[in-house]
Every structure is written in structure tokens, then in C-alpha cells.
Structure 1
Amino acid sequence: MALVRMGVLALLWGSTFLWIKLALDGLSPAQVTFTRCALGSVVLLGMCLSARRGLPRDRATWGHVVVAAFFCNALPFALFSVGEQTVDSGVAGVLNATTPLWSLLIGVVIGTERRLHPARLGGLLLGFAGTLLIFAPWGRAGLVSWGAAAMLGAAASYAVAFAYMGRHLVGKGTATIALSASQLLAATGLSALALPLGGLAPVHPGPAALSAVLVLGIFATGVTFHLTYRLIADEGATNASTVGYLLPVVSVALGAIVLHENVGLRTVAGMAVVLVGVGMTRRPARPRAHAEIAAAPAIEPAGRQ
């Protein structure tokens, strides 16, 4: 099931850049961030109600939820919205694909990846190399810019959040659907605090921008975020972050199938390298790292959210 969730997550998450770009035609970055968090939280609260799962009640859990909401939602969502005003999708894809490398570095620092298998390390590096091959950023403008720096900061923020969620929230007795719902609810509150900074101006979004922000909030934020939580619970932060390498593959494939875009030999080769790299990272985590998150599946019996 984890591989299925990873595939669905890649499909949904891989379209995020498109929806953000379209939404920015009628909304400011602060408005896009707030709206996607609010819509995503409504979706997940509905899923909680359907599954009869209550939100956390203790202050300690909510404290961790707020920290995770800042690094996994409010901050990176804002940085991606700001960055996409000036950075093209190719460069954005490359910078977003650095998340697994940041996760690896953080895992080494905090001790969860202290004995990283050479094959997994090689897979992480190979996946990033394949992403570079797909987008060839050396032939694109905008790699060194404030927008690119914002994207890189967002990727690093995701990595920090994944590690924090894996250590302080997953496997602590609260169902992942409740955690994801409460975290997006907290992110909605945090992003609302940023609305005075360019988010209170009147808006007149057209049909395309309105549709884009709806899809972004409901599917690319709400559904995607719950799948992300489940993947972290099942496989740990570093393995979960490797889905970032599949995003450029998905975007290129959808462009070729839906928009009939030309896919050259370099792109095909890059996609193959990415898939090989992701396959290499699928080696089981060492026992100690796995034990930290192994309790999560036991919290939610099969067939429940």
C-alpha cells in the first residue's frame, strides 16, 4: 500500500506547480497560501468526521502540530507561491527535488540515518542527477534569483518538517488523519497572520484561477497532505521525501500525454535515471530508525483512515 500511496501522491503533488501558477493569475501569494490551507483543512476535517476520529486534545501534541504546520505548510506554501512569480517550472522542479537530500542531511545530523546503506545514498544522489538531466537547468534563466532561493528554502523546510513529524507526531497514539487535519487547521491560522502582508487587497479571480485554487486546496493540499503523513508513518521521513524525485517525471509525462508536448531523448533518459534512483532508496530502513515509526500502522487497523 505504501508504494500505491507514493504513486498517487506523486500524481497529485506533481501537479501543484501548475495549479499555483494558474491561481497566481487572480490571487496574491498570501491569498493562495491561506486559501489552499483552509480548503485542505475542511477536506481533512470532513474525513475525520467520516472516520469518527477526534482531533488531539492535549497541549503537548498541539504544540508539536503548530511547529510542524509552520515548517510543512505555512512557510513552504508561501515560499513556493512567491517563488513561482519569477521562477519557471523547470528550475522549480529541480529545486523542489532537493528535499530528499535535505532529509538525508537532517537524518544524519539527528541520528536516524547514522548507518545509511551505500545503495540508498547512491539512489538519493542518482535521483537528483536524473532530475537535473530532465530539466537541464544549465540552459535556463532564473536559477540564481530570489525566487529560486525561496524554492530552495521551501524544499529545506519540507525536510525539516518531515523529520520533526516523524519524531514528535507519528506513532504517538494519534491517528494520522487527525494529525493531518489538525496540522492544516493550524497552518490556516498561521497563514492568516500573513494576510495583512499583501493578502487583503480585493481580488477578482477568473474561472481558471478560481478552479486552480479549488483543485490546489482540495486535492493537491488536503488529500496529498494526508497521504504524505501516512507515508511518513509507514516508511520514515527520508523515504517519504523521495517522492519529490517522482514529481518532475509526473509533470513531464502529463505534459506529453495531455498537452502533446515533445519529450526528447534526454528527458526520457532522465526519467529512467530518476526511477532507478528511487528504486535504490526503497531498501528497508535500519531497525532502530524503523522502530521509531513502526507503531503508526498499529494505531489504525486496516480499512480505517
Structure 2
Amino acid sequence: MTATPDKPHFARELCLLLLLATLWGAAFTFIKVGVQTIPPVTLIAARTLIAGAILLALLNWRGIAMPRDGAMWGRFMLQACINSVIPYALIAYAEQTTDAGLAAILNSTSPIFAFLLTAFVTRHEVVTGRKLFGVAAGLAGTTLVIGMGALKGIGIQFWSELALVAAAACYGVSAIFGKGFRGLDSMVPAAGSMICGAVVLVPASLLIDHPWTLSPSRDSVLALLALSVFSTAIAFVIYFRLLRTLGSVGATAQAYLRVPIGVAVGVVFLGESLSATAWIGLACVIVGVAAMTLPQKISGSAAKA
């Protein structure tokens, strides 16, 4: 018989799950404030550098050494490109012209892309009716969020929204590729990918933005620090803990918990608002992602298999 976790312990893990969703949901507001006076490339370069340094310090404190073979660092670099360099750049670019709440909604579609890739490319997951429903609901919600008005003319807002969807697609790819890091402490590939991301982004920042000439506001600097420390480094630590205590299925609940949180943070702190169709789209996205990530109930026949 499987032991049932005691209520105080389980309640603590659920609180951590809510905290993780809050940290990742708030990231879109931090980015929105940061890019007001810090160019996107410099913002994400600093984000990966600070977060990577913190994660390395935590690994050192835990007595865990990073791998030394070049092949593994090559995999870290690929993971960095699809999980931080490209999507971070797309999100930071997009939030120069879009609201943080809108970014949170569109970015939550990454499980949809992960499912489509696994169903039609890697084919290591069973295609169920519920998952197909989730894909349809999520895509419909994305269309409603972007709005049919985008079809009348392609402008800056449309391209920004498309960039957010492309970033979600990158996260979907990275979720599949990231499964190949089995056997490593979960914090190791996180730290490795952040350091590799910084290796790419810091030189790019120096060449493109000349950060020594910038005069960022106090709010942007504080947003950058909060993004790096809370929404990246600490969020990863909480996520790795939840993988051990709640399992991978339980930990993925943050994927749809962070959507309403991200929207609420933007509304409360930035005074943002959503259109009626965007609210409907938000509901569709949450339903779609939940349909694809909530665990299936084990039927009696399945249990006997």
C-alpha cells in the first residue's frame, strides 16, 4: 500500500507549488518593467549570468561538481539556445510592445507544442482524445488572445504576439530535449544551460547594446534583479524540490497556475487590462493545458495490465 503524505507536509508542498507559479507568473511583469530602460539582449544576458552564478554557488554548497566532458557541455549549449537564449530574447523583444498579462497567456501554450512534437515527431506519447481536445482548446484560446483583428493587417503588435508563441514553441522543444539529462542532478543541467546562455548573450550584449553607455532606471534594475534571483534561480530550486516531492506530473501544475497569476500581477501592478475575447482565450488556454497535463485516472483494466 502506498503511504499517504501527512497533511502538513502535503500542504507545504502545495504552498511551494503556488509560490513557483507566482515567481514564474511575475517574471513577465519583471521583464515588462526591465525592458523599459534596458535593451532586451542586455536584460536576458544579465538574467542568465546572475542566475547561473547563483545556481553554481548552490551546487558548490551542496558539494555537486559540474560535468567536465565536452559532449555534455555541448548538450548544455543546445539546451541553452532553445530554453533560454532564443525564448528569453523573443519574450523580452515582445514585451516592449505587449502587456505582461498577454505574454503570460501566450507563453503558457508551450505544453501544446510539446505534445504536437511528441505526437508527430518523436511519437513517444500516446495520443488520447483528451490530449487532442487540449490541443484544440489551447490553439483556439491562442487565436482568441491574439485576436481576429490581427488578420486585418500585420503590425508591430502582431509580430510581438507571434514572437511570444514562437518562444512557447521553443520551450516545448526544450521540454523534450531536456528529458535526455537523466542521471544528473536536476540543478546541473539548469546551471549548465544558464552559464552557456550567458556565454552567448554577454558578448552579444557588448556588441549590440554597449551596456556601459546605458542609463537604466532604478525600477528596471530592481526588476532585473528580481527576475534573475527570484523568477530564475530560486524558481529553479523550488521546481527541483517539487520534482522530488510531488513528482513530474504534480510539478507541471504550475504551467497553468502561472497564467492567471501572471495576468493578475500585470493588472494589479501595471494597470493592464484584457479584452473580452482575451479573457475567453485565457480560459481556453487554461482548460487546454490542464487537459494535457493532469494525470489520467487509472482504470481497473489499466491497473491489471
Instruction: Check whether TM > 0.5.
Output: yes
Q: Which of 214, 219, 224 matches 2:230?
A: 219
Match of 1:162 in 2: 175
CA distance in 1, matches of 2:105, 2:155: 12
Residues 84-233 of structure 1 aligned to structure 2 (within 5 Å)? 84-108=95-119, 109-113=121-125, 115-127=126-138, 129=140, 135=145, 137-138=147-148, 145-166=158-179, 168-169=180-181, 171=182, 173-201=183-211, 202-227=213-238
Report deviation, 1:40. Answer: 0.6
SS of the equivalent of 1:15 reads: helix
Q: Aligned match of 1:250 in 257, 261, 284?
A: 261
Give unpaired runs (5+ residues) of structure 1: 287-305
Q: Which runs of 5+ in 2 are unaligned?
A: 1-9, 299-305
TM-score (norm: length of structure 1): 0.76
Change (3 A) 1:218 1:179: same
Percent identical residues = 28
Code of the aligned partner of 1:149: L
Aligned residues: 279
Higher share of residues assigned helix: 2
Change (3 A) 1:244 1:132: farther
| Aligned amino acid, residue 53 of structure 1 | I
Q: Distance in 1 between matches of 2:280 and 2:95?
A: 27
1:130 shift after superposition: 5.6
> Structure 1 residues 49 and 159 mapped into 2: Cα distance closer, same or farther (>3 Å)?
same
- Aligned-pair RMSD on alpha carbons? 3.5
Point out the more displaced range, 191-200 or 25-34: 191-200
1:51 to 62, 77, 82: 62
Report the CA distance between 1:117 and its aligned residue. Answer: 2.5
Q: Summarize the Cα distance change of 1:65–1:36 in structure 2 as closer, same or farther, 3 Å threshold.
A: same
Distance of aligned partners of 1:250 and 1:186 in 2 relative to their CA distance in 1, 3 Å threshold: same
Q: Distance in 2 between matches of 1:213 and 1:254?
A: 16
The question of whether the paired residues in 1 share the 8 Å contact of 2:105 and 2:285 is answered with no
CA shift digits 1:119-165 (9 cap, x unpaired)? 233234435556766x5744789686332332222111111111101
The answer for the alignment partner of 1:298 in structure 2 is none
> Is this contact kept in 2: 1:48–1:178, CA < 8 A?
yes
